[in-house]
Amino acid sequence: MKVGVLTGGGDCPGLNAVIRSVVRKGVQEYAFDFVGVRDGWLGLLKNDVVPLDISSVRGILPRGGTILGSSRTNPFKHEDGLRRVRDTLASYEVDALVVIGGEDTLGAATELSRQGIDLVGVPKTIDNDVSGTDYTFGFDTAVGIATEAIDRLHTTAESHMRALVVEVMGRHSGWIALHAGIAGGANVILIPERPFDMDQVCEQVKRRFEINYAPIVVVAEGAVPKEGQMILKDRSLDEYGHVRLSGIGEWLAQEISARTEKDARTTVLGHIQRGGTPSAFDRWLATRFGLHAIDAVKERDFGRMVALRDTRIVRVPLADVTGKNKVVDPSLYDEFDTFYG
């Protein structure tokens, strides 16, 4: 059997660990042949496929990003996309795909599966918002990076006695903001799941200044104020219909300064959260996902996604987990005093 591997969507720590485990087990245990698809679905549209073997994946376990490249290409937004995907797979005699991606990449995979293409999905995203799995790899690394940034910002905030707003990723779900904000000792945490009250935020900021303490506000990029709409710098759409987020942190700092008459500055972590060496947990989870994904290919259990449930890796139907996001459980709101809105 010949298996194609592709990584789609945003880059993410742990992608190379999946590629490595898929190829190593597939070659050593099942004698499969492998090819890598360049730049996600774009590679299948452009007939851009490269050989993959054990030597190709040697030494990539600790590397961030993806050796195959990635893109936010939606094959169904391109003329004759389905036919071009089929033609590329046929020309390289690819029998099945291992598709590593987040909500959009796996959504396209779900439709391709319905169209008869044999594939297995592997969930990845730093946002941890893919349904059906307790965690996605990349999330732990992103939280660690954001927490370290918050730790460092405490000292400069206190030195200048100013409020600091830290904008982290999270389009639909506030998992990074919640985890990093709690771990970093933030005073206010704002997430997409709950529109926030700007007056309440400013009141909390004032209270911190009154006790001679410089406040830290952590906000997910998709958070929305009750009295307004999503704050955006750029309203152009990608091929999946998403706007490019960012702007809420800068808006918050301006509002805090205007309403409290205190200095407020913004730090946007952006792509820093996605880059660099994956954490030990993300390497472990990504490796397990890869091993189980290639087992599913061997068993021809297609149209499924591997997922973490408690400590076990299970398989779930792609159709059951795509098209919806895993959001922060409302019960978590009540566990921490730092939620406002």
| DSSP string covering 209-234 | HHTT---EEEEETT--BTTS---BSE
Task: Exactly one of 39, 104, 118, 127 is catalytic; name it.
Answer: 127
pLDDT in tens, 268-287: 999 999 999 999 999 999 99
Q: What is the mean pLDDT of residues 75-97?
A: 96
DSSP-derived letter for residue 172 is S
What is the model's pLDDT at position 120? Answer: 98
Residue 232 clears pLDDT 70, i.e. is over it: no
The answer to whether 341 is annotated as binding is no
What is the model's pLDDT at position 233? Answer: 62
Which two three-digit tokens encode residue 34?
């492998």
Is residue 217 within 8 Å of residue 256, measured between CB atoms?
yes
In 54-66, which positions are buried (b, 16+ CB within 10 angstroms) versus exposed (e)?
eebbeebbebbbb
Which two three-digit tokens encode residue 222?
């998709």
pLDDT in tens, 94-126: 999 999 999 999 999 999 999 999 999 999 999
The answer to whether 169 is annotated as binding is yes
Q: Which residues have a Cβ under 8 Å from the Cβ of 200 and sit 6 or more positions away?
A: 340, 341
- The verdict on whether 53 is a catalytic residue reads no
Band of pLDDT at residue 164, cut at 50, 70 and 90: very high
Band of pLDDT at residue 236, cut at 50, 70 and 90: low
The answer to whether 211 is annotated as binding is no
Is residue 98 within 8 Å of residue 109, measured between CB atoms?
no
**Residue 267: beta bridge partners?**
166
Q: Any long-range contacts for 152-159 (C-beta under 8 Å, 24+ apart)?
A: 153/216, 153/267, 154/184, 154/185, 154/214, 154/216, 157/214, 157/215, 157/216, 158/213, 158/214
pLDDT in tens, 41-65: 999 999 999 999 999 999 999 999 9
**Residue 312: beta bridge partners?**
309
Mean pLDDT, the chain, rounded, equals 93
Which stretches of 160-268 are assigned E, i.e. beta strand? 163-168, 188-190, 216-220, 234-237, 243-244, 264-268
The answer to whether 58 is annotated as binding is no
Q: Please give the residue that has the higher pLDDT: either 200 or 233.
A: 200
Band of pLDDT at residue 341, cut at 50, 70 and 90: very low
Go through the chain and tell me how many residues it has. 341
The answer to whether 170 is annotated as binding is yes
The answer to whether 255 is annotated as binding is no
Which H/E stretch holds residue 199? helix 198-210
- State the Rg of the chain over Cα: 21
Band of pLDDT at residue 24, cut at 50, 70 and 90: very high
Residue 146's Cβ-side half-sphere holds a number of Cα atoms within 13 Å equal to: 38
Q: Of 293, 291, 301, give the one whose Cα is nearest residue 113.
A: 301
DSSP-derived letter for residue 279 is P
pTM, entire model: 0.93
The percent of the chain in helix, strand and coil, each rounded to the nearest 5, is 40, 20, 35
The answer to whether 272 is annotated as binding is yes
